[in-house]
Amino acid sequence: MIRKLVKIVGGNATDISDVPYQVSVVINGNTLCGGSILSQDWVITAAHCIYNESATSIVVHAGTNIWYSGIPYGVSRVFRHQDYDPNTYINDVALLLLVNSIQYDSNTFPRQPIALAETLPADGTQVLVSGYGDTSENGNLATTLMSVYVNMVNVDSCNTSYAGEVLDGMFCAAAPKKDSCQGDSGGPIVYNNTLIGVVSWGYGCANPQYPGVYTSVPYFYDWITTIYTATNNDLV
């Protein structure tokens, strides 16, 4: 089976004003991932999206329903989790320090931060995932921002489906004929207006046997906050 580098399947067109924390992360002008605004200077995404990429190859687009539009922000520094493993996707989280600060707006180009969750919701809880990715497995990128509700899946059950590949710091979510997919990687999965996870990987898109797998924000809460609350002089 091939891991998806996760678009939204089975979802609905969504206005950026409903998910103003959503951004697109464009690498070398053509590779697409998602991300979320944490503060005026920081965006969170998946480590696999920017693996071995330089900051100058990445542009973040905010406040838009179309991934290549909106307001572009250059990236000055990339902080990929130091223990990320591209073979297992463990520790699949990264932070981007922007060149210019995001000016929050709720009007023409909606841009707002999202708070970090400190705990995951219970199994079965409905959560929202959004992105600009494919609308079907191996399909085409969406023409507009999409979102879909999925449900938290018991990790042990999910790990059984994946034969032990769901590792520490990961959780699962799924719903019939609904999922994230290629191009959504790094984007937000949200509960109660808090960021609970980052789109990471899975087998196929909306495959009933294999839920989507996400990086847990609560698991990495200390790692994330240690970096993005530091001053530039503290960053190494």
Structure token pair of residue 108: 């023409």
Rounded Cα gap, residues 152 and 33, in angstroms: 22
Structure token pair of residue 222: 């200390």
Q: Which of these is catalytic: 36, 130, 185, 216?
A: 185
Strand boundaries in the chain, DSSP class E: 12-13, 22-27, 31-37, 42-45, 58-62, 71-80, 94-98, 115-116, 126-131, 146-153, 170-174, 188-191, 194-201, 212-216
Rounded Cα gap, residues 236 and 77, in angstroms: 10
Q: Which helix (H) or strand (E) holds 195?
A: strand 194-201
Which residues neighbour 194 within 8 Å (Cβ) at sequence distance 6 or greater?
A: 114, 115, 116, 117
Query: Would you call 39 a catalytic residue per the annotation?
Result: no
Which residues neighbour 39 within 8 Å (Cβ) at sequence distance 6 or greater?
A: 113, 228
Q: Which amino acid is at 61?
A: H
46 with 199: CB under 8 angstroms?
Answer: yes
Structure token pair of residue 119: 């705990």
Query: Would you call 92 a catalytic residue per the annotation?
Result: yes
Q: Which amino acid is at 39?
A: S
Q: Which of these is catalytic: 92, 134, 179, 184?
A: 92
Q: Which of these is catalytic: 48, 130, 179, 180?
A: 48
Query: Would you call 81 a catalytic residue per the annotation?
Result: no
Query: Which residues belong to the active site?
Result: 48, 92, 185
